[in-house]
Structure 1
Amino acid sequence: MRYMATYDLMETIRNTNQWLGASARTLASFPYMAMLPNPAIRWMAAWGEVTERSFERMVAKPDWGIDSITCDDGRDHLVNVRTVVERPFGDLLHFEVAGREPQPRKILLVAPMSGHYATLLRSTVKSLITNCEVYVTDWHNARDIPVSAGKFDVEDYTLYLVDFMRHLGPETNVVAVCQPAPLTLAATAYLAEEDPDAQPRTLTLIGGPIDPDATPTDVTDFGHRVTMGQLEETMCQRVGFKYAGVGRRVYPGLLQLSSFMSMNMDRHSKAFTDQILRVARGEASDHDPHNKFYDEYLAVMDMPAEFYLSTVERIFKNCEVAKNAFTVNGKHVDIGKITTVAVKTVEGANDDISAPGQCVAALDLLTGLPDEKKASHLEPGAGHYGIFAGKSWRNNIRPLVLNFIDQNAGEARSGASLSVVN
């Protein structure tokens, strides 16, 4: 009950701040307030508007907002987001482009389960669907999943990816962004041994911690400093009575958000202060850069506690993937079994989360893969976000990834079926 009370207390604080913002905005907007031409009233309305919007976004799942796309034929096509595989902890989505022939490139974009929704990859999806068939893993908020659905740890995550790859078939090109990179590599190795015909054609790992110890960062140092008991005691709580997942142990999204923001508190404080002043001067808009960024950044989701704890222990502390010692249901997953899937790694030179060296370590683990099927790229001047959604992605990395996919599209693979599983 103590952990549930703490969870509900955080939600109460969030809800109270949202109410205070709404009250301040409403009070300052009453007509009679116009009789008092005081700048403080405009400031109060601006503070209320920014505060209400910010705390409201923390419990709202953002929309993909991709209604149409201009394709290579120069026409605008409607985009329908369809669920093709539905599971308790995550779905497989397909971005169907109406009125367009199916594209030869089939891409499975593996989104992180690291506190934000898959919509964080919105710009990545938009850049790919113009000439690709794009599928995305859409992980669910743990607070909305009943306890009866069971647990979800790194092994379950890996098996979800295995099922998604099996569903899409051997012509799939998998692109894993950040946190899921080591587990996507493990899922591919699992298929290589258990179901070779279902292996993807290519695997691109972007900014992922394959070997966290290769280049230490603040993230990896934190993982080594704290014990698992400390993490479980301080970071994990049980969902309160407001949500369907009542009683489920989670790493709460609001707690994650406080950690995110504390890392750059000065920058965030200045951003919100500047936004309040812009609103007061009438210079802000619903879709200005501040709102576009923070509407996504503040939208956080609860992570299953067992997934969070097993990720820290097995991926960061014990480095099971880096040591090729990862197991699923007690069975060793040998990364050396990957012999036909072309693998490319992408890193950012200025990435302070998954520093250069952590992701490219995957290539050394692929002892059974010919060198001609291995590739790597280090993007100069790019940070973590830029390698999958920024200017570096649009101008340099995306063309390289698509060229890598095309180079391996026509190669016949022994033992791989050419049919697509639907």
Structure 2
Amino acid sequence: MRYLPLYDLTETVRNTNQWLGATAQAIGSYPGVALVPNPYFQWLRGWGEVMERSFARMVAKPDWGIYTVVGNDGRDHSVRIDRLVEKPFGNLIHFKVMGREPKARRILLVAPMSGHYATLLRSTVASLLPDAEVYITDWHNARDIPVSDGKFDIEDYTLYLVDFMRHLGPDINVVAVCQPAPLTLAATAYLAAEDPEAQPQTLTLIGGPIDPGASPTDVTDFGDRVAMEHLERTVIQSVGFKYRGAGRLVYPGIQQLTSFMAMNSDKHSKAFSDQIMRAARGEASDHDKHNKFYDEYLAVMDMTAEFYLSTVDRIFKEREIAKNTFTIAGKKVDIGKITDVAVKTVEGENDDISAPGQCLAALALCTGLPDEKKAQHLEQGAGHYGIFAGKSWRNNIRPLVLEFMDEHAGTHAEQARKKRAPRAATGKPALKAV
């Protein structure tokens, strides 16, 4: 199988470094070394602690860590995670707030599939839960999906979104963050043509590459200059026998992480050296600022080779969404068919991944949508992460997005009532709690 030894070699290196870290921590923590007045052993313990934790996180899926939410009654309500739709490559999940009347405002967060788990949007979910029913796409790690489950490319991804939107009903407010923005726009257009009464109520696109050519960045430049044959030859590997997806061609999460780290290598190196010294002095804690960030940042997932390659080729190179030439199974998806969904774009002034202008291009593509159903916001001074999870999101963007949803609330209420009536009559299947 192609590049199978390389995948296992990478995992062996990761596993060895985790073991070295654990060993160093154990030696540095041995009671007998306290008799030796040498700070080397404190440093060794700190180095081992940081190394073991870092390399262990690379193969672990983070927990959501959202256990309670404060209700209007001032009490803490426990949160249960229910799987509403289960599919081989991803589930639709609902953060059910127990003991609280369902909120009228319903939000589907479309999480990125770009190397990290959906838990990257943990703080986004937590910020919305007090005011809405929150649903999210929970994508699976490709290394754990058997080859027998077939392929998963950007067309399959788009159809997953179509199914999730259909399940939730036309009164859902969809928020796509970064990578899925162009495909979420395509899914909405697909519904507009094939099942108009299943279209979402609103669509908010945050920092996504609708038109990567509108404002070039290092990411878009890479997509332009690299040849697909070179990309396939250098980054695609076969999953090793340790995982259920053995033999599946993937873009490995650890290789993606290496690219992420290389973009800001000086910053990451300083962060880790500082943390080692804090750990050596006994000042580090399990949930300090460093660990809280890197526990999530280092937790990476494999993407299927066909999804990664088709994204680079069709979204960045050919710009099929930007040119409105995207097809599913050979059938054109016309974004101009969107006529009844309010669309808002959000961009960050200092976004160096999806620069201003890339996401805004969505509004020009919605040629069938009246101006009163279009909105845009450019957040001054905000970078990529800040527009969906940082201070800018909490203080400025989140209120504007909720206001946008409320402005168009009720426009699809009758369609939602009709669609839910047959389901209520037949009885819904029991939900599965995560």
- The two structures share one fold, judged by TM-score above 0.5: yes
CA distance in 2: counterparts of 1:352 and 1:282, whole angstroms: 36
Question: Conserved in 1, the CA contact under 8 Å of 2:170 and 2:412?
Answer: no
CA distance in 2: counterparts of 1:411 and 1:393, whole angstroms: 26
In structure 1, the residue matched to 2:290 is 290
Paired AA for residue 147 in structure 1:
V
For residues 381-392 of structure 1, the aligned pairs below 5 Å read 381-392=381-392
> In the TM superposition, what is the alpha-carbon distance from 1:33 to its structure 2 partner?
1.3
Q: Does the residue aligned with 1:129 lie in a helix, a strand or coil? A: helix
Q: Does the residue aligned with 2:3 lie in a helix, a strand or coil? A: helix
Q: Does the residue aligned with 1:418 lie in a helix, a strand or coil? A: helix
Aligned-pair RMSD on alpha carbons? 1.1
Residue 418, structure 1, aligned to residue 379, structure 2 = no
In structure 1, the residue matched to 2:210 is 210
Normalised to the residue count of structure 2, the TM-score between the two structures is 0.96
Query: What percent of counterpart residues are identical?
Result: 74
> In the TM superposition, what is the alpha-carbon distance from 1:347 to its structure 2 partner?
0.2
> In the TM superposition, what is the alpha-carbon distance from 1:417 to its structure 2 partner?
4.6
Count of residue pairs brought into register by the alignment: 421
> In the TM superposition, what is the alpha-carbon distance from 1:357 to its structure 2 partner?
0.1
Normalised to the residue count of structure 1, the TM-score between the two structures is 0.98
> In the TM superposition, what is the alpha-carbon distance from 1:89 to its structure 2 partner?
0.1
Question: Conserved in 1, the CA contact under 8 Å of 2:171 and 2:410?
Answer: no
Residue 129, structure 1, aligned to residue 129, structure 2 = yes
In structure 2, the residue matched to 1:148 is 148
Q: Does the residue aligned with 1:128 lie in a helix, a strand or coil? A: helix
Residue 45, structure 1, aligned to residue 19, structure 2 = no
> Structure 1: which 5+ residue stretches go unaligned?
none
CA distance in 1: counterparts of 2:4 and 2:227, whole angstroms: 23
In structure 1, the residue matched to 2:104 is 104
In structure 1, the residue matched to 2:267 is 267
For residues 354-369 of structure 1, the aligned pairs below 5 Å read 354-369=354-369
Residue 186, structure 1, aligned to residue 193, structure 2 = no
Residues 34 and 180 of structure 1: CA distance in aligned 2, closer, same or farther (over 3 Å): same
For residues 210-229 of structure 1, the aligned pairs below 5 Å read 210-229=210-229
Q: Does the residue aligned with 2:37 lie in a helix, a strand or coil? A: coil
CA distance in 2: counterparts of 1:203 and 1:28, whole angstroms: 53
Q: Which moved more, 1:326-335 or 1:404-413?
A: 404-413
> In the TM superposition, what is the alpha-carbon distance from 1:150 to its structure 2 partner?
0.1
For residues 267-416 of structure 1, the aligned pairs below 5 Å read 267-411=267-411, 416=415
CA distance in 2: counterparts of 1:290 and 1:23, whole angstroms: 22
For residues 212-251 of structure 1, the aligned pairs below 5 Å read 212-251=212-251
In structure 1, the residue matched to 2:166 is 166
Residues 215 and 207 of structure 1: CA distance in aligned 2, closer, same or farther (over 3 Å): same
In structure 1, the residue matched to 2:197 is 197
> In the TM superposition, what is the alpha-carbon distance from 1:31 to its structure 2 partner?
1.6
Question: Conserved in 1, the CA contact under 8 Å of 2:171 and 2:412?
Answer: no
CA distance in 2: counterparts of 1:420 and 1:37, whole angstroms: 73
Large movers: runs of 4+ above 6 Å: none
Question: Conserved in 1, the CA contact under 8 Å of 2:107 and 2:173?
Answer: yes
For residues 61-140 of structure 1, the aligned pairs below 5 Å read 61-140=61-140
> In the TM superposition, what is the alpha-carbon distance from 1:416 to its structure 2 partner?
3.9
> In the TM superposition, what is the alpha-carbon distance from 1:71 to its structure 2 partner?
2.4
> Structure 2: which 5+ residue stretches go unaligned?
424-434
